[in-house]
Structure 1
Amino acid sequence: MRIALITADFAPNIGGVASHVVELGKALAELGEEVHVITRPLGDMREANQTWQGMQVHRPKIPRGQPLYGWLLGRWLKKFCREYQPDILHVHGLRPLEASRNMPVPVIFTNHTSGYLKRVAKGAHEQKRIARRLTHIAHVLAPSQELCDATKAVGYSGPIDFIANGVDTDRFTPNASPLRDRLGIQEDEVIVLLARRLVEKNGVTVFAEAVSALKDQPVRLLFAGDGSEQEKVETILKQNDLYGKSIFMGAVPNPDMPDVYRAADISVLPSFMEATSITGLESMACGLPLVGTRVGGIPTLVTEGETGLLVEPGNPVALGEAMRTLVENPAQRQAMGQAARQRAVNHFSWSHIATATRDIYRKYSH
């Protein structure tokens, strides 16, 4: 099949959508499909056309601002369809959605983010607007049941399927990490990892409150990510005397993340909104137990008591107790970590996710 993935967010950007499209495209190419990615010049990757990791990447220079972006991208896509005759267009994220109207091939749409849930929560007027934007879409995919339900709620009547995010289980593996030594962390210290952007929807201030339950434990708190809530997080940690046990690494490029996970003992997802968390999947593939909230796609990842522990969102006491349970029980941590790795391999490898996605495409290709 000739597949075109359309996204405003792609490598070298760090983040869920960029990572999803890169890995899905690579996995589809490995399955023998011809994969084109239509994105924009980003960071140090600005070539107009490039073969990269098995994909053909096209980066038209189009201004970011709407409506010009949508109009010019739409014109560019029509030309692309005439020239390459793809079997399917697969749009990722709301930004390029408008540009995919009136195309000569079926359009699949994946809505990825909690931003979509916030729009839906604004009420009937916003929901009607979203429904209008989806009228030309043949099939919607979403990486959490919550996002599937939100798409139905706006009045979209076409087919909707939940297909989880995936993880590269060959790259993210349990192993030794040089990071512990580099950061001067003692062998007996338990590393509790928060690997996410430090923004409100990720529940990062709740995490900062919850770790006061670990004050008397031999722990280190490792933050891999930055964002608008960092100052608040630091203030809370200073108040509960845990700032001295905290290490802030800032935004870590994805190629460096396996060593971050391998250095840790527990990974925490204190989110208020989340699809099937890529951080969660990468943590599991590296053999870490998860402590997560019962929102979005997190319960899809965490088999309660087997691969991790689940708590209600926004509850620092429950989150603190769950983390403490795992800090105090190394054997339980290890068993859960092994089960998490197995679950990642069996259910969430990218070849598994790409095959499920291709099955949807095949319903529409001639």
Structure 2
Amino acid sequence: MLRSLILMIEHTGNGGLSQYTYNLCKALTRAGQKICLWTARGYEIQDADKEFRAERIFNRYATNPFKLVKAAQELAKRPPDIIHFQGATRAEYHLFLLGLLRLFLKAPVVYTVHDAAHPVSRRPKRRALNLLYRCTDQLIVHAEHNKRLLITDYQVDPAKVEVVPHGNYLFYTELAPSLNREELKKHPGQKNILFFGIITPRKGLIHLIRAFQAVHAAIPDSKLLIVGHPYEDPSQYLREIERLHLTEAVYTRFSYVPLEEVPGYFRAADVVVLPYVEVFQSGVLQLAYAFGKPVVVTNCGGMPEVVEEGKSGFIVPAGDAASLGAAILALLKSPDLGQRMGQYAKKLAETTYSWDGIARRTLEVYEKNKGSLDFSYHTCV
């Protein structure tokens, strides 16, 4: 693909979505493309080495519309060839932003769907997503499962959806950790089980806590690390931990973890567990692979397409605490098995999920749409 100007839009400025976008922008730049990233104030990677332009446009969801208009007018002087949204939440906001950009820019719109609402449990969000998907020219998802979901539950044209895997998070391994491993692992015999990331009901944390009761009974030196920002009241988890007499065996940090502190948790982990009951795809899984850690995941969403059973981790039924505990114990009781799985996971991160490969596949999507506007432009302006 010839050199193009790509407007990349990521409105959060921190967390997994921001980090994903940063890595994609770097890889596209290495592939010869020119990138203009619109991100948020307080962009957490602002001091990192990068070869693309990052403009701090957004104030999360409270951005001044006049500031957006001014930025769009300025960009219209040298319009982009492609507009690429990174989307996970707040479809209504992206619809507004897309409509505004359409007034000034006539470029095809690619939208990466990092998450989608369940068709029953979140109907208002589903309606907004239906409209958003119709108003974009191309959709990218990270797994075949997710493509099928968009086709069956959102009636998206199959030709409009391309599968591009989630790239690795190896850049984390190059950060100087600000959290000492020794703070989380008091002695060499301690076995750490890590749950990491935002906490919501669909993350299935309650099942992991219950599974840990059997794990701790079998391995008294085991410890469960629960680390992440809760989007619900975490007291229910603390009550369950206390009810199961696990208070001394569980470490909790209910807050957002700054970029530089993330490596410490993964380096201290013996196994990373994703007990989700509903998921689209997971960046935490790629974090575990980057640090060479074996994983235990559930058979939800696109995760079974990333985890190779018995090679990079184990896959168990969602909501099954007994199976979850058995898989964790199998890894903790066999350090050699865990080490082999971790090494294989790291190899997958370096090869299958390399950002240069992800960039090539993304450019193929751009090439498919460059220079043309779908019917969506005329129906959604």
TM range (shorter): 0.7 to 0.9
Instruction: Confirm or deny that 1:221 pairs with 2:263.
Output: no
Taking the aligned partners of 2:243 and 2:264, their CA distance within structure 1 comes to 30
Alpha-carbon shift at residue 55 of structure 1 (Å): 2.1
Amino acid at match of 1:340: A
Q: Cα distance 1:85–1:192, how it changes in 2: closer, same or farther (>3 A)?
A: same
- The equivalent residue for 2:364 is 359
Alpha-carbon shift at residue 187 of structure 1 (Å): 0.5
Q: Deviations over 1:151-210 (max 9, x none)?
A: 22322225101212212335438x999733234521011111111222211111111111
Q: Cα distance 1:40–1:335, how it changes in 2: closer, same or farther (>3 A)?
A: closer
Q: What SS class does the counterpart of residue 60 from structure 1 fall into?
A: strand
Q: Cα distance 1:344–1:199, how it changes in 2: closer, same or farther (>3 A)?
A: same
Q: Is the 8 A contact 1:142 1:161 kept in 2?
A: yes
Q: Is the 8 A contact 1:20 1:166 kept in 2?
A: yes
Q: Cα distance 1:126–1:335, how it changes in 2: closer, same or farther (>3 A)?
A: closer
- The equivalent residue for 2:107 is 105
2:94 pairs with 92, 96, 116, which one?
96
- The equivalent residue for 1:55 is 52
Taking the aligned partners of 2:293 and 2:48, their CA distance within structure 1 comes to 35
Amino acid at match of 2:206: T
Q: Cα distance 1:187–1:62, how it changes in 2: closer, same or farther (>3 A)?
A: closer
Moved more, 231-240 or 130-139: 130-139
Q: What SS class does the counterpart of residue 296 from structure 2 fall into?
A: strand
Moved more, 75-84 or 182-191: 75-84
Amino acid at match of 2:73: K
Amino acid at match of 2:110: I
Alpha-carbon shift at residue 316 of structure 1 (Å): 1.0
CA RMSD of aligned residues (A): 3.0
Gaps of 5+ in 2: 372-381
Taking the aligned partners of 2:20 and 2:58, their CA distance within structure 1 comes to 22
Alpha-carbon shift at residue 222 of structure 1 (Å): 1.5
Alpha-carbon shift at residue 225 of structure 1 (Å): 1.2
2:321 pairs with 284, 295, 316, which one?
316
Q: What SS class does the counterpart of residue 35 from structure 1 fall into?
A: strand
Taking the aligned partners of 2:264 and 2:279, their CA distance within structure 1 comes to 24
Amino acid at match of 2:140: L
Instruction: Confirm or deny that 1:8 pairs with 2:11.
Output: yes
Alpha-carbon shift at residue 128 of structure 1 (Å): 5.3
The percent of aligned pairs where both chains have the same amino acid is 22
Gaps of 5+ in 1: none
Q: What SS class does the counterpart of residue 369 from structure 2 fall into?
A: coil
Taking the aligned partners of 1:112 and 1:186, their CA distance within structure 2 comes to 38
Amino acid at match of 2:109: V
Taking the aligned partners of 2:268 and 2:325, their CA distance within structure 1 comes to 21
Pairing of 1:23-34 with structure 2 (within 5 A) = 23-34=23-34
Alpha-carbon shift at residue 285 of structure 1 (Å): 1.6
Q: Cα distance 1:77–1:100, how it changes in 2: closer, same or farther (>3 A)?
A: farther
Q: Deviations over 1:271-321 (max 9, x none)?
A: 122233111111112111000001112112210111111111111111111
Alpha-carbon shift at residue 26 of structure 1 (Å): 2.1
1:241 pairs with 218, 238, 245, which one?
245
Q: Is the 8 A contact 1:145 1:296 kept in 2?
A: no
- The equivalent residue for 1:335 is 340
Amino acid at match of 1:156: V
Instruction: Confirm or deny that 1:230 pairs with 2:227.
Output: no
Taking the aligned partners of 2:244 and 2:274, their CA distance within structure 1 comes to 20
- The equivalent residue for 1:251 is 256
Taking the aligned partners of 2:307 and 2:59, their CA distance within structure 1 comes to 41
Amino acid at match of 1:133: L
- The equivalent residue for 2:20 is 20
Alpha-carbon shift at residue 30 of structure 1 (Å): 2.6
- The equivalent residue for 2:378 is none
Q: What SS class does the counterpart of residue 213 from structure 1 fall into?
A: helix
* Count of matched residue pairs: 354
- The equivalent residue for 2:374 is none
Q: What SS class does the counterpart of residue 347 from structure 1 fall into?
A: coil
Q: What SS class does the counterpart of residue 287 from structure 1 fall into?
A: coil
Q: Is the 8 A contact 2:179 2:261 kept in 1?
A: no
Alpha-carbon shift at residue 134 of structure 1 (Å): 2.7
Alpha-carbon shift at residue 331 of structure 1 (Å): 1.3
Q: Is the 8 A contact 2:83 2:110 kept in 1?
A: yes
Task: Give the TM-score normalised by structure 2.
Answer: 0.83
Q: Cα distance 1:43–1:345, how it changes in 2: closer, same or farther (>3 A)?
A: closer
Alpha-carbon shift at residue 52 of structure 1 (Å): 6.8
Moved more, 281-290 or 247-256: 247-256
Amino acid at match of 1:24: L
Q: Tell me which of the two structures has the higher relative contact order, counting C-alpha pairs closer than 8 angstroms and 6 or more residues apart.
A: 2
Instruction: Confirm or deny that 1:266 pairs with 2:271.
Output: yes
- The equivalent residue for 2:131 is 132
Q: Is the 8 A contact 1:288 1:338 kept in 2?
A: yes
Q: What SS class does the counterpart of residue 94 from structure 2 fall into?
A: coil
Q: Deviations over 1:221-243 (max 9, x none)?
A: 12221312532222212222222
Q: Cα distance 1:334–1:64, how it changes in 2: closer, same or farther (>3 A)?
A: closer
Q: Is the 8 A contact 2:184 2:268 kept in 1?
A: no
Q: Is the 8 A contact 1:176 1:262 kept in 2?
A: no
Alpha-carbon shift at residue 36 of structure 1 (Å): 0.6
Q: Cα distance 1:123–1:18, how it changes in 2: closer, same or farther (>3 A)?
A: closer
Pairing of 1:151-190 with structure 2 (within 5 A) = 151-153=150-152, 154-157=154-157, 158-169=159-170, 171-172=172-173, 179-183=180-184, 185-190=186-191
Amino acid at match of 1:283: A
